[in-house]
């Protein structure tokens, strides 16, 4: 039986899809089998970030409505053979996902794959609730910025109230993944400190992904950053996060400005 992980945030644009793709790919690179499921019906993007946008024949809604078998709808990644995608439907809306349909699909995936990663839509409505419904573990993607932290707090409240696990009185493992961390602004004292974010949200940290060109470039070419630029700080942060998800203990350092003091001053003055 695999583990179901929801990647969620409340706020849009914080990096849920990018993080789902990168963590999924990193887990798959360790040899585990991974199914990435896009819950953002009507606004799918996981296919694009994975470079599989032209290979989507059947989607999540087709499977729920019985127009395709789950095995037909799963797209196997061309670069990592243990990585699979179940795309969201682009032409429907979120009401096309039914409670029972989602339960069946996630249940079947859990039997086949080591990890089922549910990429949640933004917001706190039906789509987001369905994405978290069957999760065993949650990754709350948060930017060190007031509106993102506030929305994360709201989502954490929903994780405690609306998931199958918590309804049954079982524990729900929740982690914060901080993305778009900017060491330069952090050094200036103009970005919420990691410790403050963790204290406010009262959750353990699974990784810190610095704001980076590598992540943007990876999306441009349709590759998870762990494949596109494996030596970049962001790729390493995701690879480390994947190892922590697997239960390994990996040291976690807050990214710092790497330029020399003079170089930094020079650049700012320029």
Alpha helices in the chain (DSSP H): 16-29, 46-49, 60-64, 70-73, 99-112, 126-133, 146-162, 164-167, 183-188, 194-201, 213-221, 225-228, 233-245, 261-269
Closest alpha carbon to 6 in 30, 38, 32:
38
Q: How far is the CB of 154 from other proteins (least distance, A)?
A: 7
Q: How far is the CB of 268 from other proteins (least distance, A)?
A: 13
Whole-angstrom distance, CA of residue 137 vs CA of residue 256 = 29
Closer to other proteins by Cβ: residue 48 or 158: 158
Closer to other proteins by Cβ: residue 191 or 208: 191
Whole-angstrom distance, CA of residue 225 vs CA of residue 85 = 16
Closer to other proteins by Cβ: residue 190 or 251: 190
Closest alpha carbon to 140 in 114, 89, 179:
179
Which positions ≥6 away from 166 have C-beta within 8 Å? 159, 160, 172
CA distances from 98 to 72, 161, 163, 221, 260 (A): 20, 19, 15, 33, 55
Q: How far is the CB of 184 from other proteins (least distance, A)?
A: 13
Q: How far is the CB of 140 from other proteins (least distance, A)?
A: 14
Q: How far is the CB of 144 from other proteins (least distance, A)?
A: 8
Q: How far is the CB of 9 from other proteins (least distance, A)?
A: 16
Q: What would you measure as the largest C-alpha separation in the chain, in angstroms?
A: 63
Closer to other proteins by Cβ: residue 154 or 243: 154
Query: Which chain residues interact with other proteins by CB under 8 A?
Result: 145-146, 149-150, 153-154, 157, 161, 186, 188-193, 196, 200
Q: How far is the CB of 135 from other proteins (least distance, A)?
A: 20
Q: How far is the CB of 134 from other proteins (least distance, A)?
A: 23
Closer to other proteins by Cβ: residue 146 or 269: 146
Closer to other proteins by Cβ: residue 105 or 132: 132
Closer to other proteins by Cβ: residue 193 or 265: 193
Residue 185 CB burial class (10 angstroms; 0-12, 13-18, ≥19):
middle
Per-position DSSP letters for 212-269, written without gaps between them:
-HHHHHHHHHT--HHHH-TTSHHHHHHHHHHHHHTT-----------S-HHHHHHHHH
Closer to other proteins by Cβ: residue 69 or 188: 188
């Amino acid at each position: 039986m695999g583990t179901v992980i929801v990647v969620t945030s409340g706020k849009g644009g914080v990096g849920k899809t990018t993080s789902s793709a990168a963590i999924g790919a990193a887990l798959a690179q360790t040899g585990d089998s991974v199914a990435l499921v896009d819950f953002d019906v009507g606004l799918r993007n996981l296919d694009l970030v994975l470079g599989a946008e032209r290979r989507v024949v059947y989607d999540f809604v087709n499977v729920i409505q019985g127009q395709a078998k789950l095995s037909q709808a799963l797209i196997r990644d061309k670069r990592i053979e243990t990585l699979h995608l179940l795309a969201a439907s682009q032409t429907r809306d979120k009401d096309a996902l039914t409670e029972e349909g989602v339960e069946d699909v996630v249940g079947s995936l859990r039997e086949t794959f080591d990890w089922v990663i549910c990429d949640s839509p933004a917001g706190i409505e039906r789509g987001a609730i369905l994405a978290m419904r069957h999760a065993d573990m949650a990754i709350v993607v948060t930017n060190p910025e007031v509106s993102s932290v506030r929305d994360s707090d709201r989502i954490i409240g929903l994780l405690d109230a609306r998931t199958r696990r918590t309804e049954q009185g079982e524990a729900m493992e929740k982690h914060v993944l901080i993305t778009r961390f900017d060491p330069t602004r952090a050094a200036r004292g103009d970005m919420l400190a990691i410790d403050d974010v963790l204290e406010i949200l009262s959750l353990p940290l699974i990784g810190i992904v610095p704001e980076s060109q590598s992540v943007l470039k990876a999306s441009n070419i349709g590759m998870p950053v762990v494949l596109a630029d494996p030596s970049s700080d962001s790729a390493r942060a995701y690879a480390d996060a994947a190892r922590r998800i697997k239960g390994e203990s990996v040291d976690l350092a807050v990214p710092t400005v790497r330029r020399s003091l003079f170089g930094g001053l020079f650049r700012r003055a320029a």
